[in-house]
């Protein structure tokens, strides 16, 4: 299928300085940037056709972002649509997603690197969707040709069958890439959510990593493991509606009214993603990750095995990471696990706690010698480039980008996904050092 050398992206905003900033931001990227200062002007530009991505500000005088994207969808239905919005306009952004067919929203002011990644991912998604459509139509056409020519030469039929098999493989590969982009979007979105709660950095990624490993060791099937991983990434999505003053306090400092507001976030989190059919099972786990094993949790007071297994797993991982990295004054691995042990049977499932202990002792190989004997594990520290990393290695020092953004935290076990994130991060924002990991002595 022929591909354009440059993908076309349209930015619509009533502020000329914003449009100029966006043009400068993408000057080094392989995309052709178009700008419009109003929805009406943007619709005229779209008539030229061939656009991969449309990005619109929500608040514009003559036509809102929601209205513009609704009309843009009719002119350029195959383009990926994104809405720019401030935190106060989240509801309007959701309306743009529902009515205008926007694939996501980005909050203003944006982080330049995150915006670049989001737009490039959207360009790639648009390209993959076109390729999917092309391959699907091609497959259908060739199936019809196979029926028509089934009575003709056997060699001809065999050749066409081989071509069809190859194209089906390409279609499967494209679908898998779309799924990977979706999972990457979940990760990126969870990182944006943590901008609301800065007390624990990279919390969602750590909770997801621990929860996924526990689920695997418990023998859950691949679909269940993926659901647990996604739910863990988004378990705090409901906090987007919690006032900042509440997020800055510890639970014991909250007033009764503040506690009531805080306890709404699991239900709000489930509701926020319930309209996405593929995330509904994850939404159930998000709703129940604050339930207690003895029935004294929230929001529904479920008890014991009535609490979904995935929610019980996430509850353990969430508490562990908050104690380990959220300001707990004596946060050695040993002290954190001892503190959590006192909550087994009341807050946590007694059968799951030993599995958590196994997982975190392996993932936090760089903990103090009093907790883990590195010599017994025959581990040494090595500084590697992203291309030299492999799944199973454990981060020995926090990884930060060249501009200081935390990418992965000490103790994280590498997998294919976070190695890919590191590789792209080092390309966009190179760090001054390599990546420090623990590796086994030979």
CATH code, domain carrying 42: 3.40.50.2300
Residues 33 and 21: beta-carbon distance below 8 Å:
no
- Sorted by sequence, the CB contacts under 8 Å of residue 129 that are 6+ apart come out as 78, 80, 178
What end-to-end distance do the CA atoms of the chain give, in Å? Answer: 48
Residues 104, 132, single domain; the answer is: no
Query: Cα separations (Å) of 303 from 50, 194, 292, 295, 297?
Result: 55, 29, 7, 4, 8
In a domain, 1, yes or no: no
61 in the same domain as 16: yes
35 beta partners:
11
Query: Which residue among 113, 134, 169 closes a domain?
Result: 113
Q: Are residues 89 and 27 in the same domain?
A: yes
Residues 316 and 436 in one domain: no
CA distances from 391 to 31, 131, 191, 394 (A): 33, 30, 22, 9
Do residues 219 and 348 both lie within one domain?
yes
Q: What is the pLDDT of residue 377?
A: 44
Q: Do 25 and 136 have their domain in common?
A: no
What pLDDT, on a 0 to 100 scale, did the predictor assign at position 368?
Answer: 36
Considering the domain boundaries, does residue 189 fall inside one?
no
DSSP 251: G
Block residue for tokens 């990279």 = 202
Q: Collapsing DSSP states into helix, strand and coil, what is residue 11? A: strand
Please report whether residue 371 resides in a domain.
no
User: Along the 442 residues of the chain, how does pLDDT read in single tens digits?
Assistant: 444 457 899 999 999 999 999 999 998 888 899 999 999 999 999 999 889 999 998 888 889 888 898 899 999 888 888 888 876 566 666 766 766 567 777 888 888 898 888 889 888 888 888 888 888 888 888 877 777 776 666 776 677 778 888 888 888 777 677 666 666 667 666 666 655 555 555 688 889 989 999 999 999 999 999 999 999 988 988 888 888 788 778 778 889 999 999 899 999 989 988 888 888 999 999 999 999 999 999 999 999 999 999 999 999 999 998 888 765 556 678 888 999 999 999 999 999 999 999 998 887 654 433 343 444 345 677 889 999 999 988 888 888 888 877 778 777 888 888 898 889 888 888 888 899 998 765 5
Q: Are residues 240 and 263 in the same domain?
A: yes
| Global confidence as pTM | 0.50
- Calpha distance 363→384 (Å, rounded): 18
Angle between helices 309-325 and 333-341 (to 10 degrees): 140
The answer to whether the bond into 171 is cis (omega within 30° of 0) is: no
Q: How many domains does the chain have?
A: 4
Beta-carbon count within 10 A of 188 CB: 17
Task: Judge if 286 and 344 occupy the same domain.
Answer: yes
Return the CATH number at 240: 1.10.3210.10
Measure CA 295 to chain center.
Answer: 31
User: Do 223 and 306 form a contact (C-beta atoms < 8 A)?
Assistant: no
Q: Which residues pair with 437 in a beta bridge?
A: 382, 395
Handedness of CA 59, 63, 66, 68 (dihedral sign): negative
Give the H or E element holding residue 383: strand 379-384
**Residue in 432, 417, 426 with CA at minimum distance from that of residue 183:** 417
- Is the domain of 268 the same as that of 327? yes
In a domain, 373, yes or no: no
Nearest CA to 336 out of 362, 350, 356, 352 is that of 356
> What pLDDT shows up at residue 237?
87
Angle between helices 309-325 and 222-233 (to 10 degrees): 40
Domain span at residue 342 reads 198-363
Which one of 300, 329, 363 terminates a domain? Answer: 363
Residue 274 sits at φ, ψ, to 5 deg, of -65, -25
Residue 370 lies in a domain: no
Q: How many CA atoms lie within 13 A of 48 on its CB side?
A: 10
- The answer as to whether 404 is a domain residue is yes
Q: What is the per-residue pLDDT for 75?
A: 92
Give the CATH number for residue 384: 3.90.105.10
Alpha-helix residue ranges (DSSP H) falling in 298-436: 309-325, 333-341, 353-363, 416-428
- The Cα 385–Cα 413 span in angstroms is 16
In a domain? residue 92: yes
- Final residue in a domain of this structure, among 363, 398, 413: 363
DSSP letters spanning 220-247 = --HHHHHHHHHHHHTTTGGGGGS-HHHH
Same domain for 337 and 390:
no
Residue 333, token pair as written in the block: 């691995």
Q: Which residue has the tokens 């981060």?
A: 395
Q: In what order do the strands lie in the sheet with 379-384?
A: 379-384, 435-440, 394-395
Give the burial string for 95-117 (b: 16+ CB within 10 Å, else e): bbbeebebbbbbbbebbebbbbb
H runs (alpha helix) in 76-153: 90-99, 112-148
- Specify whether 26 is located in the same domain as 91: yes
* Same domain, residue pair 212 and 313: yes
Report the pLDDT value the prediction gives residue 83, as an integer from 0 to 100: 85
- Tell me which residue of 387, 395, 339 sits closest to 364, measured CA to CA: 395
Q: Could you identify the residue written with the tokens 């991912």?
A: 121
The verdict on residue 206 lying in a domain is: yes
pLDDT of the residue at 374: 41
Amino acid 2: pLDDT? 46
């Amino acid at each position: 299928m022929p591909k354009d050398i440059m993908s076309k992206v349209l930015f619509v905003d009533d502020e000329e300085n914003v449009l100029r900033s966006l043009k400068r931001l993408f000057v080094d990227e392989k995309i052709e940037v178009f700008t419009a200062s109003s929805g009406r002007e943007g619709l005229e530009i779209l008539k030229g056709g061939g656009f991969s991505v449309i990005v619109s500000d929500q608040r514009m005088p003559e036509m809102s972002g929601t209205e513009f994207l609704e009309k843009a969808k009719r002119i350029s239905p195959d383009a990926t649509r994104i809405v720019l919005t401030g935190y106060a306009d989240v509801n309007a952004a959701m309306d743009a997603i529902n009515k205008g067919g926007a694939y996501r929203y980005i909050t203003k002011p944006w982080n330049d690197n995150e915006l670049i990644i989001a737009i490039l991912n959207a360009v790639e998604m648009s390209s993959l969707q076109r390729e999917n459509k092309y391959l699907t139509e091609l497959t259908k056409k060739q199936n019809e040709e196979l029926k028509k020519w089934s009575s003709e030469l056997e060699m001809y039929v065999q050749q066409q069958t081989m071509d069809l098999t190859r194209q089906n493989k390409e279609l499967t590969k494209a679908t898998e890439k779309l799924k990977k982009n979706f999972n990457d979007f979940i990760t990126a979105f969870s990182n944006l959510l943590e901008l609301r709660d800065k007390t624990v950095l990279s919390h969602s990624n750590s909770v997801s990593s621990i929860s996924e490993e526990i689920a695997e060791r418990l023998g859950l099937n691949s679909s269940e493991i993926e659901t647990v991983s996604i739910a863990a990434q988004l378990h705090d999505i409901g906090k987007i509606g919690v006032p900042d003053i509440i997020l800055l306090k510890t639970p014991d400092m909250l007033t009764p009214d503040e506690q009531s507001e805080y306890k709404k976030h699991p239900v709000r989190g489930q509701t926020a993603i319930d309209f996405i059919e593929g995330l509904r099972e994850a939404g159930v786990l998000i709703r129940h990750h604050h339930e207690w094993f003895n029935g004294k949790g929230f929001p529904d007071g479920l008890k014991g095995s009535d609490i979904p297994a995935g929610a019980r797993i996430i509850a353990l991982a969430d508490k562990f990471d908050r104690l380990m990295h959220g300001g707990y004054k004596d946060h050695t691995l040993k002290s954190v696990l001892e503190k959590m042990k006192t909550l087994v049977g009341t807050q946590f499932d007694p059968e799951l706690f030993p599995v958590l202990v196994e997982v975190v002792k392996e993932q936090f190989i760089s903990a103090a010698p009093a907790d883990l004997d590195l010599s017994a594990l025959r581990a040494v520290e090595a500084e590697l480039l992203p291309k030299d990393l492999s799944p199973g290695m454990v981060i020995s020092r926090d990884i930060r980008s060249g501009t200081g953004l935390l990418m992965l935290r000490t103790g994280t076990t590498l997998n294919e996904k976070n190695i890919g994130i590191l590789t792209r991060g080092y390309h966009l924002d190179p760090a001054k050092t390599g990546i420090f990991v623990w590796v086994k002595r030979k």
